Amino acid sequence: MEKLIISGGTPLKGTVHISGSKNSALPIIAATLLTAEPCVIRGVPNLSDIDTMVRILKFLGVEASFDAKHGILHICAEHPLGVAPYEWVRKMRASVCLLGPLLARLKKTKVSLPGGCVIGDRPIDLHIKGLRRLGAQISVENGYVYAQCKELVGTDVFLCGRFGSTVLGTANILMAASLAKGTTTIESAACEPEVEDLANFLNKMGAKIKGAGSHIIEVEGVKQLHGAEHTVISDRIEAGTFMVAAAITGGDIEIKGAHAEHLCAMRDKLEESGTEIQRTNGSIRVRGRGNLTSTDVITMPYPGFPTDMQAQMSALMTLTPGISVITEKVFPNRFMHLSEMARLGANVALEGNSAIIKGVKHLSGAPVMASDLRASAGLVLAGLAAGGETEVNRIYHVDRGYERIDAKLRALGANIERIDE
């Protein structure tokens, strides 16, 4: 098992290029199941989650070839099977978005309940509710979702849950509705850029979708979809992580390829905390000025502050003078990284779904254990700022969502090494 060894305390400087979005690429890959014609997806990041999704497609009998060096994925789902088994689907939650396209294409499917990071309860009840509204008969037995229909029929679908809209649920209904009879109106749809990117790809395939990126999406079903080429958007969470890397190390990083309009909430909170951010010539330059100010953060669905940046912001707040409060309103139990940050010397306390963080003057390196994808990123950031040596274990989590993060950090001057135990 691999781990990262970090000798912290070096301000990061230089230029980093942001990879394609994992959270955009995975549903788009699933959407290729909606057509028998070849599709080409570009800008696909070389991540373990992408590898898992490609392996699932191959298990389903789909022709898939990934050029990892150039980020190009060729897919042809001419005769897909309808069963997605536990041994593959358990590895990541995004595999649940196979349910909608397989049902719409084959009219019958069996998909295992998904796995992924342990960040709290994430039921798929809204996915099932939406597909039932479209006319599917669904049962959950022995860890599998069984879905079938004579045909899917457009209708109104309301997708707001206890903690807001569901991104993957919106993606599932969006894909299924594209081949449904009549018009579907998705109310309280997720507004994330990744949903809009999926809709753009579906429209290239011949779908008729309006309103993606807003809370109301209208889908006029078509009889069939055709192949298409598409380039996925850049990863806003990777971009945000490097923005925090500049802030927490007092560095100066130019971020290339990011969509600045997707980073407004992150930019606002970093500037509020005393970080200098400039947009120039299609890039974002972030300077950590060293005089940080405490701030409060509340995670919310897009365009609010993203839950996927909560652990990284927590790391920054551990070194920010004063008391900061981070309230998690998307996944209230997503604070497993706090106990590991405390091992580095952070002064943190948890009250309900809020983290109370009292800034300390410095962190000290120590062995820590990553519990999930974004927690691992937060621990890496804390290690970059800590004195001495930090050992981050279970880094297979970080490899699920960050392409060559250690190499990119090394190019910015970080003293970071990947070793195999």
Any idea which residues carry the catalytic annotation? 117
Cβ neighbours, 10 Å, residue 336: 17
- One-letter amino acid of 245: A
| Lookup: tokens for 141 | 């037995």
> How far is 5 from 415, CA to CA, in rounded Å?
8
Q: φ, ψ for residue 108 (rounded to 5)?
A: -160, 130
Measured distance CA(419)–CA(330) in Å, rounded: 34
Could you say which DSSP state residue 18 is in? P
Contact 194, 168 (CB under 8 A): no
Amino acid at 97: C
Are the C-beta atoms of residues 162 and 18 closer than 8 Å to each other?
A: no
Q: Taking a C-beta distance cutoff of 8 angstroms, is the pair 289, 275 a contact?
A: yes
Amino acid making up residue 378: G
Q: Are 370 and 398 in contact (CB under 8 A)?
A: yes
Count of all residues that appear for the chain in the document? 421
Q: Please state, in angstroms and rounded to a whole number, the distance separating the CA atoms of residues 97 and 30.
A: 7
Q: Which amino acid is at 197?
A: D
Nearby residues of 14 by Cβ (< 8 Å), 6 or more positions away: 253, 254, 411, 412, 413
Alpha-helical regions (H) of 10-91 = 22-31, 48-59, 86-89
